[in-house]
Structure 1
């Protein structure tokens, strides 16, 4: 399996297809396996890349605590390793926050971004309580229970659940706990106006608690397009894969044409 060594930490990644590059970024506990439908379908048109963050899935435990700037550096190392000058960043949930941080740090390496059920801050009571509960459960004693809950919630079939769960439980609860904790304090809202890159934002119409984040991003980002998927909640990459994939294809092709 493809492994990249980043300063002594082994990162697992997967690459499929050719053409414009898209890097997928997963939230805590989940892995690159969560983008299996994107990897399968979008690889017909693009060069798609998924990887397991430090301490997640098949990637090695990180002695350095998990922070978004650290993950951004890992993504840059991965692009360098694959000899990719620029790529789109597709982040799901807290992975979208990392995509924003990447564009703020390395705008010259980004073509734009797809933010799926994303946010630039965690500021509402409901989401903070949910993440705080995950922090408490992200320990060796209750890790398996948390993995079952998160992967089941992101599964459209029993087969998907089995694959997501089997990858998730390979992770290290310490790094996963750190990822959850960092998401509670991260806030780049006041910097969003500095991101002058095309951004597609995708949310589920039934994911009502996240609509405030969708509207906030739409208001602050200079070049963004906001789409809602009918009858869907938060777990779009697996439960609304077809609709998401079509939106990504249209978005990337549109901006490729503009850049010709």
Structure 2
């Protein structure tokens, strides 16, 4: 498969980088902007190793992703991005759509001369990562997706019922808005961003065929009380070749499914130790051994 050969080349290059520049692994994050599709996208680079892009959720920023980014940077060269209108990235006169977010990531990779990378995305960032793999397969190696859906019918019924009632006013005086304003280039622009993100929730997805056609390993992570249903996460896993019985003489599929217990949507990102226990072995291609291995 495509990703096996390219990953071997990347692994060798990363090992050489670590050998000649061990201090990179101890560097703190370096923040800067890149010109991406008509905006100045803010990003931070930290750590050393194989490249890993990290994509945050809606209304979030790099800091609000918590400890998962510095933990990943202990073993990877992490590129943490802030999407259009989020964090220190300016908003522009353009709707926010998953294909557009994916194209922004692809353009960012071109801007920083990053040919290919693993990607970890959470919530909106997970959907953007999925679209990146669909629209730009040559740029993606392994995907780790937390709280992702490939079809809007995969959202919990309670959330789907809530979407038509959503409005910027509901969020205007919340901690979400207050945190957003602390980093925003335009602190008065929250209502405009909220309108775009509410419209994003209403957009059809219907990516089943595209997900089934993916030729790369995918780690699906979800809370057992997440915004995405358990059935939908299992359905995605089966589309990627998972869900069969092991110990039958055949290798396990490269894609994986992990369910976090007693975990709501917003609690997913607040458990970095558990996330790392799923993400790190997956990115390293490590598989637990069974009795017959």
Q: TM-score range by the shorter chain?
A: 0.7 to 0.9
Going from structure 1 to structure 2, the CA distance change for 1:244 and 1:251 (only over 3 Å counts) comes to same
Contact 2:34 2:42 in 1 (8 A): yes
Q: Which of 232, 235, 238 in structure 2 is aligned with 1:213?
A: 232
Cα distance between partner residues in 1 of 2:78 and 2:180: 19
Does 2:207 match 1:179? Answer: no
1:45 alignment partner in structure 2: 75
Q: Provide, for residues 13-57 of structure 1, a one-character-per-residue CA deviation record: whole Å limited to 9, x for no partner.
A: 111111112212222211222323122111110011222111112
Q: How does 1:96-107 map to 2 (within 5 A)?
A: 96-107=126-137
Q: How does 1:21-100 map to 2 (within 5 A)?
A: 21-100=51-130
1:224 alignment partner in structure 2: 255
Q: Provide, for residues 192-214 of structure 1, a one-character-per-residue CA deviation record: whole Å limited to 9, x for no partner.
A: 11111101111123438521221
* Secondary structure of the structure 2 residue equivalent to 1:232: strand
Name the structure where helix makes up a greater proportion of residues.
Answer: 1
Cα distance between partner residues in 1 of 2:119 and 2:134: 12
Q: By how many angstroms is 1:241 displaced?
A: 1.0
Q: TM-score normalized by structure 1? A: 0.82
Q: Provide, for residues 112-135 of structure 1, a one-character-per-residue CA deviation record: whole Å limited to 9, x for no partner.
A: 21110111122253222334444x
Contact 1:4 1:12 in 2 (8 A): yes
Contact 2:223 2:268 in 1 (8 A): no
Contact 2:54 2:80 in 1 (8 A): yes
1:144 alignment partner in structure 2: 172
1:193 alignment partner in structure 2: 212
Higher RCO (CA 8 Å, separation ≥ 6 residues): 1
Gaps of 5+ in 1: 152-161, 256-260
* Secondary structure of the structure 1 residue equivalent to 2:229: helix
Q: How does 1:9-20 map to 2 (within 5 A)?
A: 9-20=39-50
Aligned residues, how many?
239
Cα distance between partner residues in 2 of 1:132 and 1:88: 35
* Secondary structure of the structure 2 residue equivalent to 1:248: helix
Contact 2:147 2:228 in 1 (8 A): no
RMSD between aligned residues? 2.5
Q: Which of 267, 274, 282 in structure 2 is aligned with 1:243?
A: 274
Does 2:147 match 1:129? Answer: no
Q: TM-score normalized by structure 2? A: 0.73
* Secondary structure of the structure 2 residue equivalent to 1:230: strand
Q: Provide, for residues 117-156 of structure 1, a one-character-per-residue CA deviation record: whole Å limited to 9, x for no partner.
A: 111122253222334444x1x2xx55433x42x58xxxxx
Does 2:138 match 1:120? Answer: no
* Secondary structure of the structure 1 residue equivalent to 2:143: strand
1:254 alignment partner in structure 2: 285
Going from structure 1 to structure 2, the CA distance change for 1:73 and 1:18 (only over 3 Å counts) comes to same
* Secondary structure of the structure 2 residue equivalent to 1:56: coil
